[in-house]
């Protein structure tokens, strides 16, 4: 497997060098930035495959970097990395176009695995993100079901997707989810990608409210 | 200016015979008469020592009560004398009361309000500002031929009260605020009271205007009025900015005080949590495991404070919902057993007895994983659904063969299972050697606390 080209965006230099040493050998780190402005210009220059992105940055949110880069370079993929537990931050950066979210407490090998997944075009769901999504797509929001624009294709999770997310929230890896549900890992990945698409495109009230709180729609 | 009766201090000694003096027939005659109206003349023996404002039984500043204590005369009598004297002299004898309030220390205090007021530059500025406003008002009044106003006592009392209200000790101010409460003078007074106050103010203004206009022929009034307007305009032009500045400074000072209080609150919170933990970390720098535990627990607490607004230290035993309870388990196990608990909650509901039992079982399972699994993290997942709440505790530790567990170790699983079964819930344990363990717990929700859901 070729080494994915990775760009690091985080305002803590200690954290950047920590990630650098953990990823050394497994990925090719092509650059790093500490701020929104420099990140956007340097990503455009170095054209990495995956950008590891801190949700909280001094010159704005991580979603600004995603939004600015996506317009020019739709191929560059983003993996959000954060110490924050606030759902609105995470949902906002996913809706801007990030392909996944992991917490900063993740181990080195798990992070390398997540980067490879994102580079291959898959979505990466941490247990926490799976929990947020289940919450946001919970069945009880009657305001959504009454809406004339309610689109079951986008605004609802299928039973299978729910099962997959529940297992991820319980701490299962994709492989363990596949074994549990008697399906292939590829099928698990396609379910997760479909959930990610819904997360980004749905106009569910809960999601748009979270996004609005971060000034992003 | 408050319309309260002014009391008068030291002069009370001249106006009524003291305790030690021979009690004449005249006095006993008066005392029986007054007693019939509920006013006792002599209250008790005079207390020795210097004159102090009383801190109990006071009505305003405690001057009359203080004099009563000192001389042994009845408070009621002294109050009546002071009020009557103030009224007869059109307010001139109210001044000594305010001055006494300023210069006589309160009981138990070693300095008077005035000495503190001397260092209060802004208070003095406010008093001078108010005085200038009153002088202008009085000039206007006299231009309108309304010279009946008791100008000098009004100004002195107003300035004195400004200084008192800024420099009196806190408990005295609290007492004065409680006096203002029923009159709707405080910002927290109910709306009806405030409306009443406004109505009373409007009534007084109307009467004042009526009194002013009555004394003049309609046309004749116009010329002095124009002059007065010019006068007011000129004074406002000259002194306006200064008045504004004084008012602004008073507001800014108030805001600064509020900010300082917030900062102090913040500082004490940070001290109780973050600083204490940092101190612990320094002391245990050698024990890496301990340091990690402490940092992790502190991180949770700080995060709960910053993102969920739950102040540090207020969590213990205060979980009111399932999500709170899950966080509590997470914090507890992380700080006591030094492994990461990856907790995820979907939905939330009130914590009733059933849910408390479920959480207790989940806690037991989490602690068990921390003790026996050997894994460095545990996943704790709770999902609140319309008709049931499910919780899963999973670790990737060494696992075990549930069938081969010795009888004396089954106790825990049984107690967890039995505890849930009594309330209609269930527990299943899935484990195999080398594959970790997962405990699944389900508790149905009682019908009355389910949220109404659509089909």
Tell me the average pLDDT of chain B. 74
- The correct answer on CATH 3.40.50.300 for the domain covering B315-449 is no
Q: Distance from B283 to chain A by nearest Cα, in Å?
A: 24
| Out of B347, B386, B392, closest to residue A135 by CB | B347
- Cα B189 to the chain's mean position, in Å? 14
Which pLDDT score is estimated for A181? 93
In degrees to the nearest 10, what's the CA dihedral of B406, B407, B411, B417?
A: 90
Going from the C-alpha of B434 to that of each of B307, B395, B396, B399, the distances in angstroms are 38, 11, 8, 5
Q: Do B453 and A138 touch (CB under 8 A)?
A: no
Check CB contact of B305 with chain A, cutoff 8 Å.
Answer: no
pLDDT 10s digits, B426-446: 888 888 888 888 999 999 987
Contact yes or no for B28/B42 (Cβ under 8 A): no
Q: Which chain A positions have a beta carbon within 8 Å of B392's beta carbon?
A: 170-171
Q: Do B451 and A140 touch (CB under 8 A)?
A: yes
Which pLDDT score is estimated for B317? 53
Q: Which chain B positions have a beta carbon within 8 Å of A85's beta carbon?
A: 303, 307
Which pLDDT score is estimated for B83? 84
Residues in contact with B117: Cβ distance below 8 Å, sequence separation at least 6, in sequence order: B102, B123, B124, B163, B164, B166, B167
Check CB contact of B310 with chain A, cutoff 8 Å.
Answer: no
Residues in contact with A168: Cβ distance below 8 Å, sequence separation at least 6, in sequence order: A125, A126, A127, A130, A174, A177, A192
Going from the C-alpha of B199 to that of each of A137, B4, B189, B202, B206, the distances in angstroms are 55, 19, 15, 5, 11
Q: Distance from B349 to chain A by nearest Cα, in Å?
A: 13
Q: Distance from A81 to chain B by nearest Cα, in Å?
A: 16
Q: Do A140 and B454 touch (CB under 8 A)?
A: yes
Check CB contact of B92 with chain A, cutoff 8 Å.
Answer: no
Residues in contact with A172: Cβ distance below 8 Å, sequence separation at least 6, in sequence order: A180, B394
Q: Which chain A positions have a beta carbon within 8 Å of B347's beta carbon?
A: 135, 138
Determine the average pLDDT of the residues in B382-396. Answer: 90
> Residue B377 — φ and ψ, nearest 5°?
-150, 155
A170/A141 Cα distance (integer angstroms): 24
| Out of B381, B438, B453, closest to residue A140 by CB | B453
Taking the domains of chain A in order of start, what are their residue ranges?
5-122, 132-213
Which pLDDT score is estimated for B181? 59
> Residue B4 — φ and ψ, nearest 5°?
-60, 150
A87/A106 Cα distance (integer angstroms): 18
Determine the average pLDDT of the residues in B63-88. Answer: 81
Determine the average pLDDT of the residues in B337-344. Answer: 85
Please enumerate residues of A whose Cβ is less than 8 A from a Cβ of B.
84-86, 105, 127-128, 130-131, 134-135, 138-140, 142, 145, 166, 169-172
Lowest-confidence segment of B232-236, B309-313, B323-327 by average pLDDT: B309-313
Q: Do A140 and B344 touch (CB under 8 A)?
A: no
Q: Do A85 and B381 touch (CB under 8 A)?
A: no
Q: What is the pTM of this model?
A: 0.52
Q: Distance from B395 to chain A by nearest Cα, in Å?
A: 8
Tell me the three state secondary structure of residue B46.
coil
Check CB contact of B303 with chain A, cutoff 8 Å.
Answer: yes
Which pLDDT score is estimated for B24? 43
Label residue B294 by pLDDT band (50, 70, 90). confident
| Out of B303, B344, B394, closest to residue A131 by CB | B344
| Out of A145, A169, A170, closest to residue B454 by CB | A145
Q: Do B453 and A86 touch (CB under 8 A)?
A: no
Contact yes or no for B94/B6 (Cβ under 8 A): yes
pLDDT 10s digits, A39-88: 899 999 989 999 999 888 877 778 888 888 888 888 899 999 887 667 77
Residue of B nearest to A127 (CA): B344
Q: Which chain B positions have a beta carbon within 8 Å of A127's beta carbon?
A: 342, 344, 379, 381
Q: Do A134 and B346 touch (CB under 8 A)?
A: yes
Which pLDDT score is estimated for A214? 55
CA torsion sign for B234, B236, B239, B240 is negative
Check CB contact of B334 with chain A, cutoff 8 Å.
Answer: no
In degrees to the nearest 10, what's the CA dihedral of A201, A202, A203, A207?
A: -100
> Residue B378 — φ and ψ, nearest 5°?
-130, 140
Check CB contact of B302 with chain A, cutoff 8 Å.
Answer: no
> Which residues lie across from A5 on neighbouring strands?
A28
Q: Which chain B positions have a beta carbon within 8 Å of A166's beta carbon?
A: 381, 383
| Out of B340, B344, B394, closest to residue A128 by CB | B344
Residue of A nearest to B440 (CA): A170
pLDDT in 10s for each residue of chain A, 217 residues: 578 899 999 888 888 888 888 888 888 899 999 888 888 999 999 899 999 998 888 777 788 888 888 888 888 999 998 876 677 778 888 888 899 898 887 888 889 999 999 998 889 888 888 988 888 887 555 555 556 666 667 778 888 999 999 999 998 988 899 999 999 999 999 999 999 988 888 877 777 766 666 554 4
Check CB contact of B366 with chain A, cutoff 8 Å.
Answer: no
Q: How many Cβ contacts (< 8 angstroms) between chains A and B? A: 48
Check CB contact of B453 with chain A, cutoff 8 Å.
Answer: yes
Contact yes or no for B288/B296 (Cβ under 8 A): no
Q: From the candidates B293, B322, B343, B346, which should be mutated to test the interface with A, based on the most A CB atoms within 10 A?
A: B346
| Out of A84, A128, A171, closest to residue B394 by CB | A171
Q: Which chain A positions have a beta carbon within 8 Å of B455's beta carbon?
A: none
Q: Would you say the ipTM is above 0.85?
A: no
Q: Distance from B404 to chain A by nearest Cα, in Å?
A: 23
Tell me the three state secondary structure of residue A158.
coil
A132-213: CATH architecture: Orthogonal Bundle (1.10)
- Most confident by average pLDDT, B314-318, B387-391, B404-408: B387-391
| Out of A138, A140, A170, closest to residue B381 by CB | A170
Which pLDDT score is estimated for B251? 86
Which pLDDT score is estimated for B453? 39
Taking the domains of chain B in order of start, what are their residue ranges?
315-449
B155/B153 Cα distance (integer angstroms): 5
Q: Do A84 and B379 touch (CB under 8 A)?
A: no
> What percentage of chain B reaches a pLDDT higher than 70?
71
Check CB contact of B381 with chain A, cutoff 8 Å.
Answer: yes
- The correct answer on CATH 3.40.50.2300 for the domain covering A5-122 is yes
Residue of B nearest to A105 (CA): B340
Q: Work out whether strand A60-61 and strand A56-57 pair parallel, antiparallel, or are unpaired.
A: antiparallel
Q: Do A170 and B392 touch (CB under 8 A)?
A: yes
Which pLDDT score is estimated for B371? 79
């Amino acid at each position: 497997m070729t080494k994915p080209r990775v760009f690091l965006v985080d305002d803590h230099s200690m954290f950047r060098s920590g990630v650098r040493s953990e990823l050394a050998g497994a990925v090719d780190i092509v650059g790093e930035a500490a701020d929104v402005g420099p990140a956007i210009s340097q990503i455009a220059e170095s054209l990495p495959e995956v950008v590891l992105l801190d949700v909280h940055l001094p010159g704005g949110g991580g979603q600004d970097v995603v939004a600015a880069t996506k317009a020019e370079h739709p191929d560059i993929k983003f993996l959000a990395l954060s110490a924050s537990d606030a759902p609105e931050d995470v949902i906002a950066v996913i809706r801007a176009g990030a392909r996944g979210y992991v917490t900063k407490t993740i181990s080195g090998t798990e992070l390398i695995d997540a980067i490879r997944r994102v580079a291959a075009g898959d979505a990466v769901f941490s247990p926490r993100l799976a929990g947020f999504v289940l919450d946001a797509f919970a069945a009880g929001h009657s305001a959504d079901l009454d809406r004339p624009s309610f689109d079951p294709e986008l605004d609802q999770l299928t039973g299978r997707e729910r099962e997959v997310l529940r297992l991820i929230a319980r701490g299962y890896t994709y492989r363990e989810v596949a074994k549990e549900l008697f399906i292939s890992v590829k099928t698990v990945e396609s379910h997760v990608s479909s959930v990610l698409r819904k997360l980004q495109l749905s106009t569910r009230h809960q999601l748009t409210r979270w996004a609005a709180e971060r000034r992003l729609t | 200016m408050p319309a309260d009766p002014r009391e008068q201090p030291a002069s009370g000694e001249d106006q009524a015979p003291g305790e030690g003096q021979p009690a004449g027939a005249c006095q006993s005659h008066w005392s029986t008469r007054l007693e019939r109206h509920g006013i006792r003349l002599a209250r008790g023996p005079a207390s020795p020592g210097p004159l102090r404002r009383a801190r109990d039984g006071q009505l305003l500043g405690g001057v009359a009560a203080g004099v009563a204590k000192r001389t042994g005369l009845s408070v009621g009598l002294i109050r009546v004398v002071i009020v009557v004297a103030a009224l007869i002299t059109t307010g001139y004898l109210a001044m000594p009361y305010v001055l006494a309030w300023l210069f006589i220390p309160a009981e138990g205090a070693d300095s008077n309000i005035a000495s503190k007021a001397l260092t209060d530059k802004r208070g003095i500025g406010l008093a001078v500002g108010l005085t200038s406003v009153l002088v202008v008002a009085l000039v206007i009044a006299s231009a309108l031929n309304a010279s009946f106003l008791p100008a000098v006592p009004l100004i002195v009392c107003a300035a004195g009260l400004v200084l008192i209200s800024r420099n009196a000790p806190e408990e005295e101010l609290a007492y004065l605020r409680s006096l203002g409460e029923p009159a709707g003078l405080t910002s927290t007074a109910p709306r009806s009271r405030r409306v009443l106050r406004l109505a009373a103010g409007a009534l007084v203004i109307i009467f004042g205007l009526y009194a002013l206009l009555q004394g003049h022929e309609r046309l004749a009034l116009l010329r002095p009025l124009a002059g007065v307007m010019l006068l007011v305009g000129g004074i406002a032009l000259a002194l306006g900015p200064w008045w504004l500045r004084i008012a602004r400074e008073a507001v800014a000072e108030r805001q600064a005080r509020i900010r300082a209080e917030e900062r102090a609150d913040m500082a004490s919170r940070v001290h109780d949590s973050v600083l204490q933990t940092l101190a612990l970390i320094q002391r245990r720098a050698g024990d890496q495991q301990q340091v990690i535990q402490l940092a992790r627990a502190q991180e949770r607490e700080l995060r709960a404070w910053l993102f969920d607004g739950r102040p540090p230290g207020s969590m213990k035993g205060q979980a009111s919902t399932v999500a709170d309870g899950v966080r509590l388990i997470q914090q507890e196990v992380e700080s006591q057993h030094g492994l990461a608990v990856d907790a995820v909650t979907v939905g939330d509901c009130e914590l009733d007895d059933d849910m408390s039992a479920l959480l207790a079982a989940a806690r037991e399972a989490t602690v068990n994983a921390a003790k026996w699994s050997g894994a460095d993290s545990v996943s704790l997942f709770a999902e609140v659904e319309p008709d049931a709440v499910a919780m899963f505790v999973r670790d990737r530790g060494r696992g075990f063969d549930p069938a081969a567990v010795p009888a004396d170790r089954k106790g825990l699983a049984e107690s967890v299972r039995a505890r849930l079964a009594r309330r209609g819930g269930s527990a299943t344990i899935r484990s195999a050697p080398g594959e970790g363990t997962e405990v699944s717990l389900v508790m149905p929700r009682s019908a009355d606390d389910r949220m109404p859901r659509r089909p």
